[in-house]
A and B are shown apart, each in its own frame.
Chain A
Amino acid sequence: MPLRTSSKGSSRVNIETVARLLTIRNSPILLRLPPFVSALCLVVGIAWLFILPLNEYSRQTYVSENAILPGQVHTYFGGSEHNVFRAYRHEVYQMAQWSQADRLAAIEGIMRDIGLKSARQPYRYTVAGEDIQGTNVYALLQGPRADATEAMVLMAAWRNFDGEINHSGVALALTMARYFKRWSIWSKDIIILIPADSTYGSEAWVSAYHSTATEVTAWRNVSELSIKAGALQAAVAIDYPVGPWGHRFDKLDILYDGINGALPNLDLLNTAVSIASGQMGIGCSIHGVAAHSDSYQDRLKTLARGVMTQSAGHATGPHSAFMPYHVDAITLKTVGDGWHDEMSLGRTTESIFRSINNLLEHLHQSFFFYILLNANRFVSIGNYLPAAMLMAGNFTIAALALWLQSGRAPMTPTTKPADTASKLDGLQLEKVKLGDAVVLVPIQATKPMIRHLFLPVLAALAVHLFGVLPLKALVSLHRDYLTLSLQAIALASYLLPSLLSILLVRTLSASTQQIQILQSLSLLLLSAVLATLATLNFSLAFVVGVLAWPLAFVRPLFNPFAASMTLTSTNLHRSLLLAGQLLVTALYLALSPATVLYILTRYFDTSVQWTLLEMAKAWQIQGVYTALVVWAIWWPAWIVGGVVLTSSAWKPRS
């Protein structure tokens, strides 16, 4: 590969091209562009979410898997089954007054009377000094045509997600079990599961179902299952907490968010929606938006609730625990006052199970990544992912720009020249001669600087590893200390940036360039992690991206009343600069992870301790990694931002 400079002998065109390229490469406009590109990415990324509810960017849902055939069968649940249901409901109501041991025995008794094999599973978790224990009861209905390789789960937690006793839900599950037992059509086994609790009961059951040996540790004691069937194909939970005298409902709210924002295959949701609304005439809602007028506002509201739920990543019902095990699951929750009774819910469940029964292979045809706008409209990943990727891209661009800047000699002091003439005076120009073409380039632009990487790399690594500390504290301390430790973390995170920058700038005498490199590395890491997170849990990546946006624009503060400034600007100008900087600092502090957590708890009207306790339990028991993202990714990046912000304040005066 022969290399040469464009020397005298070469053609005119070539010289011009090279000269133009050289000027473009070093053009001051191009070098000042990145912050604007970054900001554009940010604005477009956020605006992107607002156009998704439009018809052009979302689609009508459709059943993709041919085998499902939703609503194609006649449902026979009715008639005398109604009497059976009412009897069971009264029994369940009675059981609610009994002790736990009697209740479990009674449920098992009913299951055995129906003719099913039944078993119990006690479990116990100890997190943050809180004991969570209970006993799941479940029974296996062996499908007459099944070969014990596949199974589906019908679930009704004893207590629903809101903590009410699920009278009618449990009764309906038992009635359905009795009814299903008489059919000869099942080609998959059916498991009837009554978890003691909506979140941890089903978690204990499904984790024991998928492990061969369970290990007893100090905080987790989950018994093994004595009865197992084949691979779980789908799970449907019923949430119908109505007492012995019944209550007619208006709509079915379909809950579908899994742990860490995993979603069930869209086909399962479509099946439930098309059966409920098409076959049974029951309206369906998503995320509790009951009066959905299909207007832009309502779609946006549903989308926003979906994004918030998904980004929290915690369980939303008994179905959530199934998602990490690649089992598609939903919860049917009855809402409102209307004219649908338990029999329509039963027929819907029957029809859903008939459809799942038809499956020839695991649900795989339809989408796994989607955002729902109402029960039958969705945005697919291709349409929404760019929003999060733009967020991540914004940080990458900022990192690249900082890296380029760090490789250049610092430009003339931060003063802003009054006019173009003085601007030119401030720069030392250098003649770059290329054949006949001569270009004037600022000398700073052509003189590369050696980057001193050791300190910034070490500092970036150290700060990111340090993020483990608040995480560890918040997930392992006793619940009485959780609020206190968050206060301590909040206070420490306000002080830490200054302390760190004193350490870096004063003790270790880090240069401006090294601070730039530190920020660049931290932003690069943040963007790479957010891009990765966007493929696992879009909403979490997007929300963290939005909350961390100032980090891409943080630059060292400077004192507008310093001697170098007094020559060029007026007093008013300097006061405005000072006010601007105070505003920036306030914004930066307001967007600290701890502050945001406080604001969120205030907004959702929950107590800080409850929120922290739920986060600790979710992290320990269900492996929800939202806490990890907040403390080990966002928090270190925020700290580095603060170090950059305060770095110039501690510079030794020379």
Chain B
Amino acid sequence: MSQAMHRLWKYRYLTLMLLPTTIVIILHSYLPMFGVFIAFKNINYIDGIWRSPWVGLDNFDFLFSSGSLVRITRNTILYSLVFMVVNLVASVAFAVGVNELRKRWLARGYQSLIILPHFLSMVVVSYLVYAFLHPEHGFVNATVLRWLGEDAIYWYTEKGYWPYILVLVNAWKGVGIGAVIYIAAIAGIDPEYYEAAVIDGASKWKQTIHITLPSIQAIIIIMTILSMGSIFNADFGLFYQVPQDSGALYPVTDVVDTYVYRSLMKMNDIGMSSAAALVQSVVGFIMVILTNWTVRRINPEQALF
């Protein structure tokens, strides 16, 4: 006992250093964790959080039976999967291509340009998209479609186009930054493999298939599995701000994050939104644990914990 006290005293300065951050983490992360009990309450502002009545699983019942859950779950997961595949293929292709460029200044230039979108906020991105899709003046309607002699399309009310637009915007924003890690991985491949391949007469294509891709296979698998961990999380900005919260587009743009936000801030339905948010947190938790378990089985070095 006194030994424990002694240890506590000996390291008191280190503990003191930790303390402010610990408080911040408690306030920001741990209090809301304990706050998930509101999903089991019928919160009203008159009674306040503590005295509002418990309603058990009513909020969840409502969420399941309203049919919203099916829609937002389908949208969230499908978009996540498509984003994952599209961005992976494009990032790896970009990384492989950049590595073949002989002029390094060109490679650096291309890389600088393609990661630029990553640094723009989703609000800025929504302006950029708007500049293209504005119903009267947008570049697509006013220039492209006019040239082609086609009628203008009212982009913000036609939901058929949005799955493609969202995938495109997401790739535009994410491929460059996604490629960075693959470029680093490819740069780390032992050049002797390529030398040997050249002696054996392997073409560039063969080298890519048989040397480059297998060498970065491990990192590709890890990155993919890691993104599986966030499959039930959507980029709120992409789905809310880029389509400008247009009601006509909800069937294809409504994801868990936008749904939670809308039920909380617009409809003031704390019960429903907290139920949806809790479902998201729990699914997220399970996915991360599963993911890490899988990574550990493939390559313990890469596991997060």
Answer yes or no: do A and B interact: no
